[in-house]
Amino acid sequence: MPEGLGVREVPVELRVNGVKHVLRVKPYERLLDTLRRRLGITSVKDGCGRGECGACLVIVDGELVPSCLMLTVQARGRDVVTVEGISSRSLHSIQEALIKVNAPQCGFCIPGVVIAAYWLLEVKGNLNPSDDDVREALSTNLCRCGSYHRFVKAVKIAAEELRARKALGARD
């Protein structure tokens, strides 16, 4: 039987990076595919497809979620954040720090790393993370280029920058 034949689409409303979308999707459609194929948000990468590499990480209602393991219907009525949502006008401090320490090599894992780091610093509010805090937050992010030490360095630099901004009362 051809894929999807006879399976009814269902209405779904979700907010992605603050923008409301009303869509009709198959009940089995992954959030990853909705973001990439329907909404053109290609920072969310299709890596392992089974929750093990972190390339597809997004934040859903404040939780770090592999979008390959969430159905779009499960995101109904919820707030989804991707890299585009945290750096629409300029690079976020995390992105600047990653560039500063030369962490991006092929770049495939980087959006997922940025999202995991953002979750740690800005969602959980840990602006003074230890090396272990960073490693734990990024524990599901696989980097085939082996930039792990640079990720830790970058996240700590970004945390310092955000702490300084907070002390000055400035907004990122």
Residues that bind ligand FES (CB under 6 A): 46-49, 51-56, 66, 68, 104-110, 143-145, 147
Torsion angle (degrees, nearest 10) of CA 125, 128, 130, 134: 40
Nearer to ligand FES, 108 or 124 (CB): 108
61 Cβ neighbours under 8 A, 6+ residues apart? 78, 79
**Are 130 and 94 spatial neighbours (Cβ–Cβ below 8 Å)?**
no
Q: Does an H or E element contain 94, and which?
A: helix 93-100
In the bound complex, what is the minimum distance in angstroms from residue 158's beta carbon to ligand FES? 17
In the bound complex, what is the minimum distance in angstroms from residue 13's beta carbon to ligand FES? 23
CA contacts within 13 A on the Cβ side of 16: 22
In the bound complex, what is the minimum distance in angstroms from residue 64's beta carbon to ligand FES? 11
Nearer to ligand FES, 127 or 157 (CB): 157
Nearer to ligand FES, 49 or 165 (CB): 49
Nearer to ligand FES, 103 or 159 (CB): 103
In the bound complex, what is the minimum distance in angstroms from residue 82's beta carbon to ligand FES? 13
Nearer to ligand FES, 116 or 162 (CB): 116
Q: How far apart are CA 54 and CA 45, in angstroms?
A: 9
In the bound complex, what is the minimum distance in angstroms from residue 68's beta carbon to ligand FES? 3
Comparing CA positions, the residue from 28, 37, 78 lying closest to residue 58 is 78
